[in-house]
Amino acid sequence: MSDTRFMTVGKDGTAREIAYRLRAGSAPGVVWLGGYRSDMTGTKAAALDQWAGRHGRQCLRHDYSGHGESGGAFIDGTISRWLEESLAVFDTLTDGPQILVGSSMGGWIALRMAQELQRRGDGARLRAMVLIAPAPDFTHELMLPQLSEAQKRQIEERGYLEEPSEYSDEPNIFTRALFEDGETNRVMAGLIETGCPVHILQGMRDADVPWQHAMKLCEFLPGENVTMTLVKDGDHRLSREQDIELLTRSLDALAGQDG
């Protein structure tokens, strides 16, 4: 079993303690990248760790700042900030090729990680990617077109927008900084070079990230080995037993397991 540990990311005023859980094992390992306001103890993340345990694989999970057990304020979070943390734990704690598993916003983080690894010549560190209901560019592609003029004014004047959450008693908070930073991190504006196979798992009853968004993402991955599985009755979470089985079968194939 893996216990929670902490590492510091950032310096001086930007330093924050990032919580992580690391299972030792062989490569290729798996790296979990959670969604907006999720943490590393959720159903899919735990299933990933259990899969790694059965096969003797490395498994790394972490909480972004402002999430779960990590330090830092949630309201300070941006894609760039959470990307920095994800790259830091990846660089420091993993060895050999890895499979990135990104859920919802974690799919955006995974794609940005791939771009950064390619840019610095470390593309070989990626064995594959599994994107679950991926939400790259969600601020620009999914949220901005739906905002009313009143909501846009609220973001400009108050600096943030509050919306009821389907998954929590506390509202979702989307800051102006998140929207502005999201623009600088857009990936669906040109070809995305991941340099590795990509498996996309998408529910067709996803009320948060429409399946058409995953189809559009594929248009930006023309040179990659991309496989998409549409789950006709699947929701955004894809956390049912049959959804977890689909995830682990994908991992078996990508890691070269016999099952």
Give me the active site residues, please: 104, 206, 236
Cβ(5)–Cβ(92) below 8 Å = no
205/139 Cα distance (integer angstroms): 20
CB-side neighbour CA atoms (13 Å) of 33: 35
How many other CB atoms sit within 10 Å of the CB of residue 60? 25
Cβ(35)–Cβ(105) below 8 Å = yes
Report CA-CA distances (Å) from 150 to 52, 157, 173. Answer: 47, 10, 16
Residues 6+ apart with CB under 8 A from 213: 134, 135, 141, 142
227/152 Cα distance (integer angstroms): 37
Question: Which tokens belong to 226?
Answer: 């991309």
116/252 Cα distance (integer angstroms): 26
182/11 Cα distance (integer angstroms): 23
Listed residue (48, 222, 226, 202) closest to 128, CA to CA: 226
10/85 Cα distance (integer angstroms): 8
What would you report as the CA-atom Rg of the chain, rounded to the nearest whole angstrom? Answer: 17
